[in-house]
Amino acid sequence: MSSPAEEASGCAVTIERYAPKDIDELMAIEVRSFSAPWSRESYEELWPLESVDIWVARDGGKLAGYMLLQHIGEEMELHTLATAPEMRRRGVARRLLTHMMDEARRMGVLRIFLQVRPSNAPARALYASLGFLPVGLRRKYYKDDDEDALVLKLEIGA
């Protein structure tokens, strides 16, 4: 069932845990979304780890987006988030992020961190709208072009 916010945005996706059957659809989005995509092997090695969660967004059964996050104690880090190009600007990433925030609260996480390219204005605006604030800079973080990464943090609270 979709929420009023999802219906208003035109996005009625469901969020579910990643399963190995999702890898082909996930990789199709990955290679279309990033100039330096993660390898299939990276996902296959990470998903079984206890500290790692991969969540997928489905629209009518089709993979619309995904995120990979890691949690250790009171902290969580969003390592990657992507939306299928044809599903962008329809609320999929926001839906995934609000799911992440709900999971963080459920798990007792107090802080969520992520890195974002300074040149990625749409992502920066989305993160800011959810309360993420800049807390640092990682110089030459992205290996494909040596772009810096802004480190953002969201305080979840107790």
Backbone angles phi, psi at 105, to 5 degrees: -60, -45
Q: Please calculate the CA angle 124-129-131 and round it to the nearest 5 degrees.
A: 95
Is pLDDT at 1 greater than 80 in this prediction?
A: no
**What residue ranges define each of the domains in the chain, with the CATH number in brackets?**
4-155 (3.40.630.30)
pTM value is: 0.88
**8 Å CB contact between 103 and 17:** no
Q: Over the chain, what is the mean pLDDT?
A: 91
pLDDT for position 11: 55
CA angle 64, 153, 146 (to 5 degrees): 75
Average of pLDDT values for 71-78? Answer: 96
- Displacement of CA 70 from its chain's centroid (Å): 11
pLDDT for 90-108, tens place per residue?
999 999 999 999 999 999 9
- Which residues have C-beta within 8 Å of that of residue 53, sequence separation ≥ 6? 17, 18, 68, 69, 70, 71, 103
- The tokens describing 14, both together, are 């469901």
Q: pLDDT tier at 5 (50, 70, 90 boundaries)?
A: very low
pLDDT tens digits for range 6-38: 443 455 899 999 999 999 999 999 999 998 899
Q: Which pLDDT belongs to residue 84? A: 97
Question: How confident is the model over 24-53, as a mean pLDDT?
Answer: 95
